[in-house]
Amino acid sequence: MSRVENNTTTDGPFFLRNGANHYRFIGLEITRTAGTHDAPTLMAVEPNGIADHIVVDRSWFHGTVRDETQSAISLSGVTYAAVVDSYFSDFHCLENGMCTDAHAVGGGTGDHQDGPFKISGNFLEASGEAVMFGGGPGTLTPADIEIRRNHFFKPWQWMPGQPGFVGGPGGRAFITKNHLELKNAARVLIEANLMENNWGGFTQSGYAVLLSPKSQHTPNGNVCPRCQVTDVTIRYIRISHSGSGFQLATSISGDGKNGGPALAGTRWSIHDVVLDDINKKYTGGGNLFLIMNGWAKNPVNTVTINHVTGFPDPIGHLFLLGNSAGNPSMYGFVFTNNMVTTAQYPVWNSGQTNSCATRGTPAEKIKKCFSTYTFTNNALVATPVPFPPSSWPSGNFFPADANGAGFVQFNNGVNGDYTLLANSRYKNAGTDGKDLGADVVGLNAALIGVE
């Protein structure tokens, strides 16, 4: 491979000049010099510039083992871009370092209508979020984004206390957060991705995937009031070995008081997903889903979770729900055809005072938090004694334990085979005639060649 190296203290080695178009970067090793005092982005459009028809293909972007390298590719200011069949490694920011959020691929900031984007067939290793859209000033929303057949991964050696721990100079840890976050993106397909090894810390709770529209608050005010996360489909993905699963939330940036809301968070569909080994030991809450509204108008709405198989930490939560009493209720929530263990504290308050989920049974909390909802035809496995079947919405199933669910191999919810046995009572029991839980056969087929 031809090697292109940034040996300066600025971004690069590639800057796309204003008007750059129809470039294909193929078979390159793109990196930075070890030991230089910087945290560069390796490929980006020059400030206030725009570029179009940019393809990165079968290339290796990497930082160095211990230095900070903030980002491989920034797609802000770009239309018609593809990042395919490439390898990204050693993108990380250090505790008390020069950057806080490392990405393999990012975008979603600026004043240009970015997209469409194709991010497909890559190995993505970054301590912050391997893929991140939003998180800065912006007046428009990137749209038509395809994120398919990628392997999201963090090496265990980055986790403090693990054998062979690798950090920065002086033993400082890398700032780990999530695998994928959307703060500003519209019309997004996230499909056939494998997401492994994610842990919390540094203000984060170990969620693998975040849909979190936000207008970032800065000393100059709220810099993205038109940010939105809308029309997102997440399907046929597997999340394993993570502190928590999905965070689906609108919130106010900064301290939650001085900032302002963004534009919208709506029309999110999650189906045929497996979440296993969701565990507090990965510095998280051990939750499958957090669904929360922090806006005084235009609340979270139209969230559909269908055919998911998932196992929260035994002393974690199936749901964290939250919405302060003064806010309008969330609405349009659909939770159907899922196969999940419920954990010791199944439906719990996400943290707000005087919240819709502060007290009550699971059924009462769901009803208080959502003005309209459908919560039916789910197999809720091993409900704890304080929350028996009578405390849940009607029309669901309640297998006593994982054996009663009828998995081929439960394996305590870690690296199991969650296909249903032929004699499982939940075989073909979905409202659509399919098995409850994820289409495991379809998921495994979608992930062939991803790992």
The answer, yes or no, to whether residue 255 has pLDDT greater than 90, is no
- Please report where in the chains the tokens 């004694």 appear, as a residue: 385
pLDDT band at 218 (very low <50, low <70, confident <90, very high): confident
Q: In percent, how much of the chain has pLDDT > 70?
A: 100
Mean pLDDT of all residues in 272-300: 97
How confident is the model over 348-390, as pLDDT tens digits?
999 888 999 999 999 999 999 999 999 999 999 999 999 999 9
Amino acid at 125: E
Q: What phi and psi values does residue 79 have, to the nearest 5 degrees?
A: -115, 150
The pLDDT assigned to 220 comes to 82
Residue 57 near residue 26 (C-beta atoms within 8 A): yes
Q: What is the model's pLDDT at position 253?
A: 86
Predicted confidence (pLDDT) per residue in 323-338, tens digit: 999 999 999 999 999 9
Amino acid present at 290: L
Confidence of residue 230 (pLDDT cuts 50, 70, 90): very high
203: pLDDT strictly greater than 90: no
Average pLDDT in the chain: 96
Tell me which residue of 294, 195, 314 sits closest to 246, measured CA to CA.
195
Beta bridge partners of 146: 118, 189
CA distance 182 to 165: 30
- % of residues, the chain, pLDDT over 90: 93
Tell me which of 204 and 224 has the higher pLDDT.
224
Mean pLDDT of 126-154: 97
How confident is the model over 26-34, as a mean pLDDT? Answer: 97
User: Strand 347-349 to strand 131-133: parallel, antiparallel, or no bridges (unpaired)?
Assistant: unpaired
* Cα gap 10→311, rounded to integer Å: 44
> For residue range 61-76, what is the model confidence (pLDDT) as tens digits?
999 999 999 999 999 9
Half-sphere exposure in the Cβ direction for 435 (13 Å, CA): 21
Percentages of the chain per state (helix, strand, coil), in multiples of 5: 10, 45, 50
Whether omega for the bond prior to residue 314 falls within 30 degrees of 0, making it cis, is no
> Is residue 302 scored above 80 in pLDDT?
yes
Alpha-carbon gap, residue 51 to 418, rounded angstroms:
45
Higher pLDDT, 303 or 202: 303
- Ordered alpha helix ranges (H), 370-438: 402-405
Nearest to 360 by CA among 331, 392, 328: 392
- What's the Cα-to-Cα distance from 440 to each of 132, 192, 313, 338, 435, rounded to whole Å? 27, 12, 21, 12, 9
What is the pLDDT at residue 316? 97
Q: For residue 40, give the DSSP letter.
A: -
Q: What is the pLDDT of residue 422?
A: 97
pTM, rounded to two decimals: 0.97
Given this model, what pLDDT does residue 353 score?
87
Paired residues of 55 in beta bridges: 24, 82
pLDDT in the model for residue 213 = 97
